Amino acid sequence: MQLHQNLGAVHCSGTSDLLHKNYCMMDKEKMSSMSQPVPELPVEDVERAQQHYREVLGFEIGWLYPGKEIGAVSRGDVVIFFRKRNAPFEPATHWVFAEDVDASYNELKLSGANIVDPLEKKPWGLRQFTVKDLDGNIFHFYHD
């Protein structure tokens, strides 16, 4: 039997071959653990972004590198890095799962977040709303 490989990766989806399935299960057991990726958002002013995320979005300021070119904020398990960029730059887009999307919407609305798309059920089945930060970065908060 020949296992299909591409650049050392074994394709494990959609196979009915028992040997192939067992190999894929063993391969998954060997995988090292990883945490959530930390996004790095482009901003014009790192300190201003940190203050905005603290005051409006409920984050805590983590650190600010000397020279003020990069810094971080956190909220619970979520960490965001900011890196100073010269305009124009392409804003980032992120999808954030909210266990209670109604509570998240109400909290951010009351805190003065720039909600550019209100909470509603979308044709694709998600209840979602969208927030834009001071630098144009987009966050789609959703629940299915």
Please give the CATH superfamily to which domain 41-143 belongs: 2,3-Dihydroxybiphenyl 1,2-Dioxygenase, domain 1 (3.10.180.10)
| pLDDT for the residue 36 | 85
Residue 32's pLDDT band (boundaries 50, 70, 90)?
A: confident
CA distances from 51 to 8, 60, 71, 72, 131 (A): 45, 9, 11, 11, 16
Mean pLDDT over 16-32 rounds to 63
What are the pLDDT digits (tens) for 68-84? 999 999 999 999 999 99
Domain span(s) for CATH 3.10.180.10 in the chain? 41-143
Q: What is the mean pLDDT of residues 28-53?
A: 91
